[in-house]
Amino acid sequence: MELDIQKINKILQEKTPEEIVSWALQQGEKAVVTTNFRPYEGAILHVCTQVKSNIDVIWCDTGYNTENTYKHAETLIQQLSLQVDLYVPKQTRAHRDIILGVPGVNDEKHQLFTKQVKLEPFKRAMEFHKPTIWFTNLRKGQTAFRDSIDIVSQGQNGVLKVSPFYHWSDEALDDYLEAHQIPNEFDYFDPTKVLENRECGLHS
How far apart (Å, rounded) are the C-alpha atoms in residues 177 and 137?
Answer: 14
Buried b (16+ CB within 10 A) or exposed e, 142-154: bbeebeebbbbbe
15 to each of 22, 59, 125, 142, 177, how far by Cα in Å? 10, 27, 30, 21, 18
What's the pLDDT at 142? 64
Query: Residues 36-82: pLDDT tens digits?
Result: 999 999 999 999 999 999 999 999 999 999 999 999 999 999 999 99
Fold of 5-179: Rossmann fold (3.40.50)
Angstrom distance (rounded) from CA 96 to CA 166: 35
Instruction: Judge whether residue 103 has pLDDT over 60.
Output: yes
Residue 201 has pLDDT above 80, yes or no: no
Tell me the per-residue pLDDT of 133-191, one tens digit each, with 9 for 90 and over.
999 999 987 666 656 789 999 887 889 999 999 999 999 999 999 999 999 999 999 99
Q: Sketch the domain layout of the chain as residue ranges.
A: 5-179
Q: What is the value of pTM for the model shown?
A: 0.90
Q: What CA–CA distance (Å, rounded) separates 135 from 99?
A: 35
Alpha-carbon distance values, 149 to 113, 139, 143 (Å): 27, 9, 10
Lowest-pLDDT range, 29-33, 87-91, 115-119, 153-157? 153-157
* Residue 105 burial by Cβ neighbours in a 10 Å radius (0-12, 13-18, 19+): middle
Cα 69 from Cα 84, distance rounded (Å): 15
Distances (CA, A) of 48 to 6, 20, 55, 198: 23, 10, 7, 26
Q: Report the chain's terminal Cα–Cα distance, integer Å.
A: 21
Q: Which of 162, 140, 180 is nearest to 42 (CA)?
A: 180
Q: Across residues 117-140, what is the average pLDDT?
A: 96
